[in-house]
Amino acid sequence: MKILVAIAFILIIASLGSALFYLMRDRGRSNRTVRALALRVGFSITLFVLILVAHKLGYIQPTGIR
């Protein structure tokens, strides 16, 4: 489970970086920035749903505040 979360975070950061790259390179003349940001939102929602499902199935447990 930790590996899946780490991979999802890497994909989110990579998508954000590519959006910045396209924004600086295209200067707003193409839709690549919007697509990269939409992909980032999709990855974030997928990660959130994955964490919810993993908690519901018992793959992860809350540890509480220490």
Asked if residue 7 has pLDDT above 80, the reply is yes
pLDDT tens-digit series, residues 13-47: 999 999 888 888 887 778 888 888 899 999 999 99
pLDDT at site 13? 93
Burial (CB < 10 A; 0-12, 13-18, 19+), residue 16, is middle
* pTM, entire model: 0.76
Going by pLDDT thresholds of 50, 70 and 90, the confidence category of residue 4 is confident
Asked if residue 66 has pLDDT above 80, the reply is no
pLDDT at site 62? 82
In sequence order, the 6+-apart residues with CB closer than 8 A to the CB of 23 are 33
The closest of 66, 51, 62 to 1, measured between CA atoms, is 51
